[in-house]
Amino acid sequence: MPPFDAYPLLLTYGIRRYAFGARAIADRLGKEGLPDGVIAETWEVSDHDDEPAVVLNGAYRGRRLRELVRAFPDALVGPGWSGPHLPLLVKFLDASHRLPVHVHPDDATARARYAAPNGKDEAWHVVWAAPGASVLVGVRPGVDRGALRAAFRAGAYDDVLLRHPVAAGDTVLVPGGVLHGFGPDTLIVEVQQTSDLSESVMPDDVYGLPLAPDAWAESLERALAIATSEARPRPDAGAVVASGALRRTVGCRGERFVLERWAFSAETTTAPGEGGFVTLTNLGDAVDVEHAGGVVTLPRAASCLLPAALGEVRLRPSGGGDLVACFEPGVGAGPG
């Protein structure tokens, strides 16, 4: 097999038209090329079975990301890494309307109940939020499963879940097993483990269609069964860890991923990440990503994947540089 050709990978993205979305990804972020109608999510970097990304540029144009992950795990994901798929998934999420209250399994629950390689920790980085926007995340102290069930059947979510205000720039780290929801009037970048396992407590499905009573009851019980975490996350404005030409603000550092916001107004050189791959999601003007083999332009509201073997890159903004960078906190063996 020829050696891996390391360069920034531009990827196809998938679209989800769930009822909580609207047009914020196009209108507020300025993402071009979206079809008309409701757009709730765009899966920017995805190696999920339901939304496999395809490379759009360079030597691997037309190849599925999954093919490259399997063929070049050390060079693409990170030295010593193994697993069934790229471990992280990055998306834009438009909660112009209320996101359903739901829960994702943690790793152990995903393996035991769904025969899946991993669960879903996630983090929300708020790009835009209207005044008064908030998140529901975590169960109030002293609330038992019976009280949760009764409140969810009555639609009394605030009686049992904690609500926190959010503003642009906040990040909320949500481990698997934590009940949560947010919106309306919120737009986020989400990084998560590669999984779409979820159980909802709502009487409607994600497309806004009412569930039959028996189906709702079953869904509610499945959600309560995997709501295993007592964590009570809070929004965090982040901590600046480097300033100067490249101002790096750490939004969150979890067991599965790190999320940083990078701001820069002039050309800057960086060796991103901690030994593995890095995803870059552009919230500002177009940025040229220069590497040893050439230059790739990352447009506004687009994302790319920097392979682990790429090394140092030079970032040249066309105006104000504003990137969200996501990566694993060190490199190790993945699940599976």
CA 89 to chain centre: 6
Specify the amino acid at residue 135: V
Q: Which pLDDT belongs to residue 245?
A: 87
Provide the CATH topology of domain 9-226: Jelly Rolls (2.60.120)
- Judged by DSSP in three states, 298 sits in strand
What is the C-alpha R_g of the chain? 20
Q: Which pLDDT belongs to residue 228?
A: 95
Instruction: Tell me how long the chain is.
Output: 336
Q: What is the rounded CA–CA span in Å between residue 288 and residue 330?
A: 26
Q: Does domain 239-327 have CATH number 1.10.10.60?
A: no
Same CATH fold assignment for domains 9-226 and 239-327: yes
Over the stretch 186-235, which tens digit does the pLDDT of each residue have?
999 999 999 999 999 999 999 999 999 999 999 999 999 999 999 999 99
What residues have CB less than 8 Å from 153, skipping those under 6 apart?
220
Specify the amino acid at residue 226: I
Q: What is the rounded CA–CA span in Å between residue 250 and residue 231?
A: 20
Q: Which pLDDT belongs to residue 333?
A: 42
Q: Which pLDDT belongs to residue 2?
A: 86
Domain residue limits, the chain: 9-226, 239-327
For the chain, residues with pLDDT lower than 70 are 331-336
What residues have CB less than 8 Å from 60, skipping those under 6 apart?
5, 9, 68
